[in-house]
Amino acid sequence: MFSLMANCCNWLKRWREPARKVTLVMVGLDNAGKTATVRGIQGENPQDVAPTVGFSKVDLKQGKFEVTIFDLGGGKRIRSIWKNYYSESHGVVFVVDSSDVQRIQETRETMAEVLQHPRIAGKPVLVLANKQDQEGALAEADIIENLSLEKLVNENNCCEMSYGKKVDKSIKKGLSWLLNNIAKDYEAIAERVQKDTAEQRALEEQDKKERAERVRRIREERCVALLRIKSTKRSTKDTMFCNRLQKS
């Protein structure tokens, strides 16, 4: 009876626990299947997915977790924005196109850059080997070898990685694995996220002020140049511009 009561109390305690909010970033090369993966997690049809330009945001409920996924575009030009989302992420989903053998080196280099970033290193990472159902796709063992996954994990203090295949139960199983690993150290990761996010916002605010100062100096220099021109040759618009600048 005592054991039964204890089990009931433990179940009631878990049931009353508030949902944990988790933010994940989903990255990978363009055409790896990131957006199709998100749709698969949501239970939607992954077919006819257009390439992500910039990013898309998805909110979903997964057990006791309220999950926000930032699906980030994978084109070369857009990858520079990935780091702007690292500070608020509790974990990473890196999607690999198993059938794109020609770009496996690019995938390895890109993954290494992600894992080596100070705001990612040590956080749980899920690697999804997508499109393994396509002809000529690399097998799981070949992906591990070609991406040097064991070396990357050891060098960057990451948790163990999990491997999903196509948009099926493997992906949801992989997501469950990732969330469970986050839950094991949730308080520490959440504290780190809060700290990193505050630092990121401070840097963005400082950058904003510096840009505003640069614009102010450029306008001031322009005004000085205009004032050197004889008043008869200055336009009314230029004169009004300088007067506003001097009053500000």
Binding residues for GTP: 28-35, 74, 130-133
Integer Cα distance of 66 and 213 in angstroms:
40
Q: What is the largest CA-CA distance in the chain?
A: 100
Contact between 58 and 68 under an 8 Å Cβ cutoff? The reply is: yes
Residue 117 structure tokens: 């970033």
Q: Which residues are annotated as a binding site?
A: 28-35, 52, 74, 130-133
Place of tokens 């469950």: 176
Nearest CA to 143 among 94, 97, 76?
A: 97
SS3 51: coil
Integer Cα distance of 59 and 71 in angstroms:
11
Q: Which residues are annotated as a binding site for Mg(2+)?
A: 35, 52
Contact between 152 and 112 under an 8 Å Cβ cutoff? The reply is: yes
CA 80, distance to chain mean position in Å, is 11
Residue 29 — φ and ψ, nearest 5°?
Answer: -65, 160
The 8 Å CB, 24+ separation contacts for 1-8 are none
